[in-house]
């Protein structure tokens, strides 16, 4: 591609069709650092009703007669709604040439890796970084005058705060545990006490403890303060993956994108946190189009996204009493 000549959008579109295997996606870039810890549900165009069915009673003494199920299971429905988000680019591609040449193996030979593909991937990487930074704490606002991405949908931790305010998450319901503020001196004992608040059946199966990277590093420091640890306890190294004294059942998930100094902690499973979207291809569909300016590169893409918990019942969910975003 001669970057000093007008942009041939038809050539760009042709390159995209020919080299689809080179296109990246939002989930393969920085936003994937967070999304990998949640469960994806595809095919959601507007909304879908979720819910975990509790076990019913089907066993009883033999009488010689068929009675059927004695007690039906209970389902508490929760709605996963997706919201539209857009990616838009409008820029002079000439200024990206040096980056393209230095980043791409074979950049001087566009037949090996077309510049058009690199430019689209660059846009998707930008969009993924922007999504990563607001993914957990975005808050939907129906005001059409507000166009920032962080007003497009409710992030998963925004949903937690909303449920707290509504009284659906509380210490009295058993799905909130009072830890107070953590310090280097007590974080280990407090996190272990929080884990042991979960039902025995949950602890036996195992789950994930979500927290910020800063809080996890505080836990690492606490581990260092304990002195020499016995091999096999699951707490021998910094960057610890499992909570000590849980026999490898409590995985520590270090969430990037958490608010600075957040001391919020949440215990649940990957299967209980879901995000919905329509088609996987939407996450890589940044399509060029004619802008009327032959020297301007313009492209646009659209995807839908939404988050929800399958259940916030104490059997599968527990958070502490600290806010997601610290107050001043």
Beta strand extents in 150-289 (DSSP E only): 176-177, 207-212, 250-255, 266-268, 273-276, 287-288
Return the domain boundaries, the chain.
156-274+311-320
**pLDDT of 262:** 97
**pLDDT of 211:** 98
**pLDDT of 177:** 98
pLDDT tens digits, 5-62: 665 666 666 666 666 667 789 999 999 999 999 999 999 999 999 977 666 677 777 8
pLDDT tens digits, 275-318: 999 999 999 888 888 888 877 778 899 999 999 999 999 999 99
Whether residue 75 contacts residue 52, with contact meaning beta carbons closer than 8 Å, is answered with yes
Q: What is the pTM of this model?
A: 0.84
**pLDDT of 231:** 46
pLDDT bin (cut points 50, 70, 90) of residue 93 is confident
Task: Identify the residue whose tokens are 């930074």.
Answer: 133
Pair of tokens at residue 132: 């990563």
Task: Identify the residue whose tokens are 């997601």.
Answer: 324
Residue 194 has pLDDT above 50, yes or no: yes
Reference 216, options 255, 247, 175, 272; nearest CA is 255
Name 122's Cβ contacts closer than 8 Å, sequence gap at least 6.
96, 99
**pLDDT of 295:** 72
pLDDT tens digits, 201-242: 999 999 999 999 999 999 999 998 987 554 444 445 556 899
Name 72's Cβ contacts closer than 8 Å, sequence gap at least 6.
56
Pair of tokens at residue 55: 């076990």
Name 145's Cβ contacts closer than 8 Å, sequence gap at least 6.
none
pLDDT tens digits, 248-260: 999 999 999 999 9
Pair of tokens at residue 327: 């107050």
d(CA 32, CA 9): 30
The whole-angstrom distance between residue 213's C-alpha and the CA centroid of its chain comes to 15
HSE toward the beta carbon, residue 219, CA cutoff 13 A: 27
Name 62's Cβ contacts closer than 8 Å, sequence gap at least 6.
none
d(CA 2, CA 9): 13
pLDDT tens digits, 107-117: 555 555 677 77
pLDDT tens digits, 103-143: 665 555 555 567 777 888 889 999 999 999 999 999 999 99
Pair of tokens at residue 218: 């505080």
Q: What is the DSSP secondary structure assignment for residue 156, as one 8-state letter?
A: H
What average pLDDT does the structure give for the chain? 86
**pLDDT of 1:** 46
Q: How far apart are the first and last CA of the chain?
A: 52
pLDDT tens digits, 140-187: 999 999 999 999 999 999 999 999 999 999 999 999 999 999 999 999
pLDDT tens digits, 63-85: 888 877 666 656 678 999 999 99
């Amino acid at each position: 591609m001669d970057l000093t000549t007008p942009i041939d959008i038809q050539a760009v579109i042709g390159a995209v069709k020919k080299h689809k295997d080179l296109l990246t996606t939002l989930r393969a870039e920085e936003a994937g650092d967070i999304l990998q810890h949640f469960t994806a549900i595809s095919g959601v165009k507007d909304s879908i009703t979720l819910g975990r069915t509790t076990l019913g009673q089907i066993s009883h003494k033999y009488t010689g007669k068929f009675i059927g199920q004695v007690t039906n299971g209970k389902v508490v429905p929760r709605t996963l709604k997706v919201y539209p988000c857009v990616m838009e680019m409008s820029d002079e591609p000439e200024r990206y040439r040096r980056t393209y040449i230095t980043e791409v193996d074979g950049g001087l030979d566009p037949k090996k890796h077309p510049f058009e593909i690199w430019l689209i991937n660059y846009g998707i990487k930008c969009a993924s970084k922007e999504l990563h930074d607001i993914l957990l704490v975005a808050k939907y606002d129906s005001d059409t005058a507000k166009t920032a991405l962080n007003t497009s949908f409710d992030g998963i931790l925004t949903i937690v705060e909303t449920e707290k305010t509504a009284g659906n998450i509380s210490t009295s319901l058993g799905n909130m545990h009072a830890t107070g503020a953590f310090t280097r001196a007590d974080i280990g004992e407090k996190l272990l006490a929080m884990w042991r608040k979960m039902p025995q059946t949950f602890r036996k199966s195992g789950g994930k403890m979500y927290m910020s990277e800063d809080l996890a590093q505080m836990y690492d420091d606490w581990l260092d303060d304990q002195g020499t640890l016995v091999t096999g306890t699951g707490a021998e190294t910094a960057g610890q993956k499992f909570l000590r004294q849980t026999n490898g059942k409590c995985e520590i998930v270090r969430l990037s994108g958490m608010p600075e100094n957040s001391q919020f902690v949440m215990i649940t499973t990957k299967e209980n946190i879901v995000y919905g979207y329509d088609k996987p291809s939407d996450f890589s569909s940044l399509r060029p189009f004619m802008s009327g300016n032959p020297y301007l590169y313009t492209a646009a893409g659209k995807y839908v996204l939404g988050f929800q918990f399958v259940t916030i019942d104490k059997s599968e969910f527990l958070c502490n009493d600290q806010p997601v975003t610290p107050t001043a």
